[in-house]
Amino acid sequence: MKTLRISLVLFLFLTFYQSSIGQELNFYEEDGILLIPEDGTNFPEPGAYTHFGDVPFGSSKSIKIVVKVEQFLLFPFMTPRLYESYDSNGNPANPYTENEFVVSQLTPVPNPLFVLAGSEFSFTITFQPQSNGVKDIIVDLKPLLTSNNNFNMRGVGLASEIEIVHLVNGQTIINNSQPSQQNGTYMGTLGIGNSKTNQFLIKNEGNSTLTINQWNLTGSSNFQLIHSGNNNVDPGESITFEVRYTPNNEITHNATLTLEDNDPDEGTFVMNFSGKGTAVPANFGKLMITQTYENGNSDFVEVKNISGGVISNIFYLARYNRNRNTSSNPNVAIQLGTFQIDEVKSIPFSFDSDQLIVISTSNNNTCYANRIDMVGEQNGNWAPGKSLVKSNCTSISPHLDFSLTDWQELSLSDVNSARNDQNLKLGIHYSGESIWNNNWINGFPDRTRVVRISSPYNNSTPFKSCDLIIDEDLNFDHNTNQSIEIYRNLTVSNGQFTIGDTESLMMYNDFASISGSIKKIEKTTNLQRVYDATYWSSPVQNANLQSVFSGVNKNRMFQLDPSKKNQIYLNTAYEHWFIASGNMKVGKGYSIDGKQIGINTFTFNGKPNNGKISTQIFFNSGTGVASNDFNLVGNPYPSAIDPMNLIQANSNVFDGAIYLWTHQIDADQGGNFSSNDYIVYNLAGSQYNSVPTPFYISSGQGFMVNAIKTDYLQFDNSMRLTGNNQYFYKEELSKNGLVEKDRVWLKIVDQNKYKKEMMIGFFEEATSGYDLGYDAKLYPGAGLKIFSLAGDDLLSIQSVEKNFESKEIRVGFSTDVEQDLYFGLAKLEGELRSTEIYLIDHKLNVEHNLKLSDYHFHQIETGTILDRFSIKFNSSAVLHLDDKLSDQELIRIKQNVGFIALESIYAIEQVELFDLGGRELSRMEGNEKNIQFSTASFKPGTVLLLKVGFENGLNLSKKVILYQ
């Protein structure tokens, strides 16, 4: 009996074993929809069941997975395990940190030996991000003897992220770093009783609200913390605080500021401060060095009387050379003479930027000890070929030590070009604000001044400021291409700050403090139809679509979201387009119809965008009908940006091409636009010759980029420009200011004179392969197109090595209808002006010199044509001519009534005659140096193409116009 039982068990085991081999587990969504598991190399698209979406730090999201066993399974499940994901190339995918994904146990617990067919289990995966970014995992059940037991999941963490900078120079503070003059945490040497206040900015670089839970300043009571009590910082927003140092004795003082916050990486942020007190010299505060100018040959030191009284012959301007002991006599010392009240002197004084300059009451070995102000540091190289100035942006007091943060650096050209009523000018130094009160009071504004608008300003003259304070209306809408420039902070306390369509607001400090709002006006081109679309982006925060675009049909406002699919347009070019509403996201683009025929004016009201801005773009693995890796983004600033800087700063997240909407083709009856209405711009230029090089992206301009991975597109102030705000793509752009490069623009024109272009460029930096930033893929869509081919890539812009010799490039086109088409040259630049360019028609075996005329052909086949044409450069390579012979020397063509005669130095073996459509009209064979053929059947004015083959293998193509 025991033997029988053992045999039965063995039989059942083998039966179960055999039946379990190759069985698959089935995974379902919570609502019963079959979940197709990934294979460990692909990742779910946004919107998929296994994609958690965006989850802010401090929050979590759970997804329930249902597991069904369709047939008997011998071995049980194990607890679901998580593994690092890998992409299709075997490289680690977006990694996650420990505890960011949590697995709940299987429910119910499987039988310890086997699982019956029809059994159903569930478990939960919870995503609780600890930092920013995309996170990938593999979920694996690991049952024995089964396949397809794992799948991928993805989530995007949106964390708060603290960044603290010194507002004077925008230098970032490193958590718990030592005190530093450069970042403002070392206050320097101050006279007892004097104060120095440094301002700092806390910016939230993350994607969820940053909360400061505690401020704690410990250490010396000589330091004081000053802040508003605002403890919450929204994503991309900032708050400021100040630390003031007032020494009360002659020792070094230290303090520590500890911030407790919800940053996942720096939840405790520590700033260490230091400063030193010293006895105040009796004459401290009487004279001050206000500016230096180091030119190598002609140097100056500007000194101002700040005492409030007359000063007579009691001070010296002295210099200590490199490595000179400051307890000895100075190398050079000159007496400064008499100063009247508030007098400013520009004193010729030779110095280098590794020396010390002091004002002192003595010129002997006590000179340095008796100093009342100083600039420079030995061996410091503190301002070579520059000018330093005391300013409202930095410090307005004398100092007993030196820090560059107390000075504003200017170029010598800034000083040389300054007006006579500006602080920048040597010999001029205003105290206090520059004020507009129907005219400028206390000097004309410049980048060193705090500027205050105290009465309405309605002037087209631009100006610069350190801080700009607006107490009354500032109207800068005068149809100019000028900019108001702010080097630090903006405060709109009262009145309206209006900036016109082509004017701009330029800000330089990524961490500027901004309060109040601006009014930025933007205009469309002259719309021919109400439903003409324009790509927009917002230059201000929290711009509401319905408010900004009041009068536009709310159902004709669209946003592109590659992370989702619109079920209405599934599997079409519009499957990622959705109707947009609410506030415009900063850095995102929107497609908006017009509100009326003609020029439409729209107004953006809000806090101007500034500094570091990031907007997420999405990449979807695989291919589809729609262009699912294109993202609609936009210039986020109220000023133009340079696309070259944008491309170079983001070369790891998109393919280096910018696609601009032109709206040349009318919408169809359903209101859908052609996806063929784009121009492309990259580091090589544009495929349209009418687009200037360089080209700038104006405020309010939306544009497309093609993502190469899901990540964040980054903007910052280094990309911004003054002026150049007239390039909003609304119409044919100006051809002025083009930069000559070795480039050719090819055109294709249809029977309705509708034209498309592409560009081929020759660059030292380019290769024959696909070069990010120099090659640009054709935007997908139907309609007339022209492009080149590099492997399987269709390109609107192709850049290759700088070598014309025998270069041949494949060129394709597409058309939706049978029609007559024309290939031609739209424009040539550089050395291509003197290089022959031939279109090779491989279908008709014709070589056509595009410099002589456009190539006309009748196209019967519709769709995308890839293999008919190529472009060859260099006439000797195309025509196989002897380098020593010109074509005039090789053959003579004589026209007579009814025939053409050819005379050659070589025997002519064959003559082929074509019309400009590429159709062969006749062919003659022979072996003669003189040959003639009839033209009696052609009308005068007919253009013919002769292709002549010679006995020695040479070939020649010539265009002939019949004149009799």
**Taking the mean position of all CA atoms in its chain, how far away is CA 122?**
45
Q: Residue 7's pLDDT is what?
A: 47
Burial class (CB in 10 A: 0-12, 13-18, 19+), 254: middle
Q: Residue 448's pLDDT is what?
A: 94
Which residues are CB-contacts of 285 (< 8 A; sequence separation ≥ 6)? 306, 307, 372, 398
Residue 875's SS3 state is helix
**Mean pLDDT to the nearest integer, 495-509:** 95
Kindly calculate the radius of gyration of the chain based on its CA atoms and give it in whole angstroms: 37
d(CA 326, CA 356): 9
Q: Which two tokens stand for residue 638?
A: 């109220």
Q: Residue 882's pLDDT is what?
A: 34
- Predicted confidence band of residue 293 (pLDDT cuts 50, 70, 90): very high
d(CA 276, CA 299): 32
Strand arrangement of the beta sheet that strand 464-465 belongs to: 464-465, 483-486, 504-507
- Predicted confidence band of residue 370 (pLDDT cuts 50, 70, 90): very high
Q: Helix, strand, coil: what percent of the chain each, to 5? A: 5, 45, 50
* Of 330, 386, 385, the residue nearest 360 (C-alpha): 330
Q: Report CA dihedral (477, 481, 484, 490) to the nearest 10 degrees.
A: 70
List, for residues 691-729, the tens digit of each pLDDT value: 767 788 999 999 989 898 888 899 999 999 998 787 654
- Return the bridge partners of 810, or none: 870
For residue 486, pLDDT over 90 is answered with yes
Q: Can you give the three-state secondary structure of 784-800, one letter per residue?
A: CEEEEEECCEEEEEEEE
d(CA 80, CA 188): 59
List, for residues 197-253, the tens digit of each pLDDT value: 999 999 888 878 899 999 999 999 999 999 988 889 988 788 899 999 999 999 999
Q: Where are the alpha helices (DSSP H) in 494-588?
A: 545-548
Q: Residue 557's pLDDT is what?
A: 92
Burial class (CB in 10 A: 0-12, 13-18, 19+), 282: exposed
Q: Mean pLDDT across the chain, nearest whole number?
A: 83
For residue 435, pLDDT over 90 is answered with yes
Greatest mean pLDDT among 221-225, 281-285, 688-692, 872-876: 221-225
For residue 23, pLDDT over 60 is answered with no
Quote the DSSP letter at residue 33.
Answer: P
Which residues are CB-contacts of 446 (< 8 A; sequence separation ≥ 6)? 418, 422, 423, 424, 434, 463, 464, 465
pTM confidence score: 0.70
Only one residue has tokens 């910052």, namely: 716
Residue 420 and residue 430 in contact, taking contact as beta carbons nearer than 8 Å:
no
Q: Residue 42's pLDDT is what?
A: 66
- Predicted confidence band of residue 2 (pLDDT cuts 50, 70, 90): very low
Q: Residue 34's pLDDT is what?
A: 83
- Choose between 37 and 170: higher pLDDT: 170
For residue 793, pLDDT over 90 is answered with no
d(CA 693, CA 215): 51
Q: Residue 93's pLDDT is what?
A: 66
d(CA 759, CA 776): 10
Q: Residue 876's pLDDT is what?
A: 41
List, for residues 325-352, the tens digit of each pLDDT value: 999 999 999 999 999 999 999 999 999 9
Q: Residue 482's pLDDT is what?
A: 94
Element (H, E) at 66: strand 61-68
- Choose between 70 and 437: higher pLDDT: 437
Residue 566 and residue 577 in contact, taking contact as beta carbons nearer than 8 Å:
yes
Residue 195 and residue 253 in contact, taking contact as beta carbons nearer than 8 Å:
no
d(CA 704, CA 684): 17
